[in-house]
Structure 1
């Protein structure tokens, strides 16, 4: 295999959905913390809470592999959509727990908005998995990078990750062009839509606060 071929093959592993979601969330946490002028201990609490939620996200997948004993091959053979469900369940758990913690301690609205978005893009991925293999790699690469860009345009260069994910998933024969492009379109529509809803809601709250 050529160097280009190996690079394309590794791309989906290097920029695995868990990695992109994790790094994207940590960048959002840092961005929000910095904007609130909190101390470093506050940042540590936020990061710790998120990492704890992330650990809980591994429970469904770990349970899946325990049920399908006999190695990775047996676990995924003929049941990749079940594994997709476990990944989706993990994202929903991590996003839900993080959202609850942020609301409980009133740490800001940016991260909860992101978690709601990550949970929302996971739903069509899970629903379609048994009947049509829409690209979860593309969906979960675009949602955090696009959300970061909407929050702060300086993060726009990160959009190269999902942009390259679309063709690489086709080139490694993991998905068709339709499945990869659909993943990009679904994630973009949900992320932009929910961000705009949150922005309008925030504007209304600010206007009401000013009026009072």
Structure 2
């Protein structure tokens, strides 16, 4: 391994293994305290809203989704092979005690998610009857940083088109190799 590879590998380990985890946990604590434990206080309200029925089911001219359907869409966009493989790896390495720490991190992470989703609702915009929003919108509207929202949008497009697919494919290939002995590189 040459010096550049060592530098990149070391930087990757520090950045993704220590810095990112510390920042996310500190933000989770900050948002938990700042929101006065909203992820716990509103748990009963969340379950109540998931049971709410549509008010006017015979009016099909307006397309609406229920709170439960919105929950499933949100969960579907967040849960991927990384979540499934991550839990399996944590249990294999950390044993049953890892479940406790995963729950603690999930509680802190839910505060960050609560804040992120609240910002998305506050700063969404209506355009031709459709709502548009997300981090790029609140960077542009609240922070008045159009350049930042542009960079964020471009980086997300590039990441989804390249990195995220590669991570998912790699996780599946490693799981198949470890479980069934199927090589990720076909023999030639």
- Name the TM-score class by shorter chain: 0.3 to 0.5
Could you state the TM-score of these two structures normalised by the residue count of structure 1? 0.30
Could you state the TM-score of these two structures normalised by the residue count of structure 2? 0.33
Q: Which has the larger radius of gyration?
A: 2
